[in-house]
Chain A
């Protein structure tokens, strides 16, 4: 502007006062807007930071829960719960302080990932402890003490809660697979039922959510997780060894992962008890032998007196 006006000497004198007033009224207003935007952006950045901290530390809680095993349940959960409490006191409280009762919806995109992760960690802990779902009300009640009672408290909204639940199934799947390999089948089945329930309930809720594109992808992942748990459990319900006996012959069918084949035993196998205090069913003995040694055939032969290895049943 200046260059253009100053180029025309006569005009610049006539016009300059007006130019200045035009500029100043705009500048004043825009200085206000700039202040507003700066403040908002800085706040957003701080909220994003707080959210990231919540994410990291909630993830740690989840990993802690995954350290669970048959005999350390109490100890692991205690630590996880303490860590979770620490996340709430240190990081969520920072978020609460930032938001100070306002902009819950405006800045939601900035804090949503962290809150989702926290929901995931909290529900995960609670499930391992009680086998039930931590509901939103309970979760929000836990957050109340963080807020100044005079202002509107931070409450987790339905969307973040549901998005967190959707992620929970992934963790449940890992937990279930771990429990299966640890032999805690009852627990694994409980997890299976629980994640099915969540999936089923969510199918009804998701269509009602407004911008549910990321929720839809999460639903697909969730179904995959549920399927993995179910298939993992399915595998445990199949016998490794099956038996066929008649008056003349006893055949043992050996299945995956030990192969597909049929072993015919000498009729006298019943007299050959392989071990003192050992398992008393033939199938179990067989499995133990299969699992325990690389020289399967020698062992089987010595234990049972194999008549014949009939065939391979499949393409092992």
Chain B
């Protein structure tokens, strides 16, 4: 509004500047408001200059009426629609809060499980390490049951709220897979994971991408595990882990991935594999690996 203001001031001081003709003072119908031109910066530059003229039947009569007095509220139908939207979105919001409440519980359980599983790096007996987290699995299953209940209230909208519990579920999968691997030396299958979490319903299944990302998290744990097992004197471990990871890596390479999070995690799997290969190589070259000759297998690496 600066320039408008300036113009107004200029007009007011006009008589002093141009005091040639005394009649100039007679400006009875002249109002500052009517003269101040619009600040040019506010007017769209695309506006041709000529438009001002055409419509004007009476330039002096400022027609504010249609802009201010004639202003009505939004039509009732519009109001109503947006009112409906607000109600709907509010409902979705409260649903989401309930999901988050369950997810928070899931998260605290996974934290406990993870903490217990970390004992594995301190070479505790396996049965002792697995005891606590195994006891938690039922709790997890129950929580997923509650999550299923909440989600079933809005059938077909599973993926609408998916992001709210996605990353937690990936962590859950990685923990379950780790436990399963420690116990059996095998990979936890998708259906097995679903079984464990009670997610084997048509409406409430474990997303395959989440499962796969969980597996990548699992592999991230492996290099540390291998190193610590060797420290504890378990020299056979690197070979076992290497075999598992090689298989897993080969299996992952069957997938055509997009440039997304899963792809990124898959790339990290490669580095985990490399690290385990290095450990195995070190073991082997020092004749520590079980029943092996000193032959170098072409695995690269150094320490």
Contact = CB atoms under 8 A, between A and B. Distances in A.
Contacts of B90: 208
Given A105-B160, A180-B47, A34 B23 contact: no
A216 B181 CA distance: 46
Contacts of B66: 186, 189
A151 B62 CA distance: 59
Contacts of A264: 21, 23
B52 A22 contact: no
Which of B6, B60, B72, B257 neighbours the largest number of chain A CB atoms within 10 Å of its CB?
A: B60
B50 A208 contact: no
Contacts of B158: 105-106
Interface string B92-115: 110010000000000000000000
B283 to A, nearest CB: 12
Interface string B67-78: 100111111011
Interface stretch (A51-59, A60-68, A83-91, A238-246): A238-246
Which of A104, A231, A288 neighbours the largest number of chain B CB atoms within 10 Å of its CB?
A: A231
B56 A284 contact: yes
A26 B11 contact: no
Interface residues of B, number: 99
A150 interface: no
Interface in B154-189: 156-160, 162, 186-187, 189
Which of B35, B37, B51, B157 neighbours the largest number of chain A CB atoms within 10 Å of its CB?
A: B51
A177 B46 contact: yes
A204 interface: yes
A272 interface: no
B135 interface: no
A129 B292 CA distance: 84
A274 B185 CA distance: 104
Interface residues on A, range: 35 or more
Given A193-B71, A205-B82, A311 B18 contact: yes
A192 B43 CA distance: 15
Interface stretch (A71-79, A113-121, A250-258): A250-258
B201 interface: no
Contact of A246 (B28, B35, B60, B160): B28
Nearest to A279: B57
A214 interface: no
B53 A313 contact: no
B14 A232 contact: no
A29 B247 CA distance: 12
B243 A22 contact: yes
A310 B24 contact: yes
A208 B256 CA distance: 37
Given A239-B34, A283-B59, A311-B17, A257 B79 contact: no
Contacts of B88: 158
Interface in B262-303: 280, 291-293, 295-299
A260 interface: yes
Which of B79, B85, B189 neighbours the largest number of chain A CB atoms within 10 Å of its CB?
A: B85
Nearest to A133: B78
Nearest to A290: B53
Given A1-B246, A232-B43, A27 B58 contact: no
Contacts of A244: 26-30
Given A132-B77, A314-B7, A208 B34 contact: no
A30 B53 contact: no
Contacts of B280: 4
18 contacts: A1-B250, A7-B297, A10-B291, A22-B244, A26-B187, A30-B255, A33-B208, A33-B255, A34-B254, A37-B257, A105-B157, A135-B77, A137-B81, A183-B54, A208-B89, A237-B63, A260-B10, A313-B10
| Interchain residue pairs A-B with the least CB separation, the first 3 | A105-B159, A246-B26, A197-B74
